[in-house]
A and B are shown apart, each in its own frame.
Chain A
Amino acid sequence: MRQRLDEILEDVLSGKLTTGKGQVAATIIGTALRSFEVEKKQKEFLELERRLSEVEKMYSRKGEPTDSDSYPFGGGVWAR
């Protein structure tokens, strides 16, 4: 998309594209780029939230054994 923006700039400067059309196209591309950025941040935030809730869960289990009476060979906690 950045390449497309450069092409639009070239076209506007060379007169192949009107400044009005160039501005509209650039605005649309800019909006799309920002939405990708927001989506990326949202994914990072959700990943952090997942990790934080895992850590909270593990700390809340402090002192508790991970195995059970029916299985004495060590448990663990799967987080998926």
Chain B
Amino acid sequence: MGTIDRRLKRIEENPDAEYKYIELKDGGRFWFKREELYKSFGLYYLACLGADARREERPSVPPLFEAIAQAEDRAGAMEEVLPGWRNWKTDYSTSVCIDLDRLVDEGVIAPYDWVRHIEQETGQTLEEMAGLDS
């Protein structure tokens, strides 16, 4: 069994494999495609940015974030998905609109509103910044 286990693990953890997985607390797994991560990060970020600016409801959270919230090792899963993620609020190349600190530290999926963040940072509303406050 040991040999089969090792051979299977090599296939499961093959760095060139299309799918990667996150071990879940309940013993299950969530399989994701590394090449599709831009959808859960970038595309979802853009959709939320628009929704937040218009004060509309956001689209439902990508399953990837639900999987990280339910992961056996949340920090490890996050590192696998987004290396160096702790800088997510200051590294602007990271497009994410979920509070990653809360996701990893508490297992909570909390939206992070960049529109409100910018308004607080600048002391101006979005409408004022766009010159639409008259």
The answer on A and B forming one complex is yes
Q: Which A residues form the contact surface with B (CB < 8 A)? A: 41, 44-45, 48, 51-52, 54-55, 58, 61-63, 65-67, 71-80
In the docked arrangement, what's the CA distance between A72 and B8, Å?
Answer: 32
Which of B19, B26, B29, B44 is in CB contact (< 8 Å) with A73? B44
Judging by beta carbons under 8 Å apart, are B4 and A74 in contact? no
Q: Known interface pairs A74-B62, A76-B67, A79-B30. Does A51 touch B36 (Cβ–Cβ under 8 Å)?
A: no
Q: Which B residues form the contact surface with A (CB < 8 A)? A: 1, 4-5, 8, 11-12, 17-19, 21, 24, 26-33, 36-40, 43-44, 47, 59-60, 62-64, 67
In the docked arrangement, what's the CA distance between A41 and B1, Å?
Answer: 8
**CB closest chain-A residue, reference B60:** A71
Judging by beta carbons under 8 Å apart, are A66 and B43 in contact? no
Which of B1, B30, B33, B64 is in CB contact (< 8 Å) with A44? B1
In the docked arrangement, what's the CA distance between A45 and B5, Å?
Answer: 10
Which of A44, A52, A54, A80 is in CB contact (< 8 Å) with B26? A80
Which of A41, A51, A63, A71 is in CB contact (< 8 Å) with B8? A51
Which of A48, A55, A73 is in CB contact (< 8 Å) with B40? A73
Q: Which of B38, B47, B62 has the most CB of A within 10 A?
A: B62
Q: Which residues of B contact A45 (CB under 8 A)?
A: 1
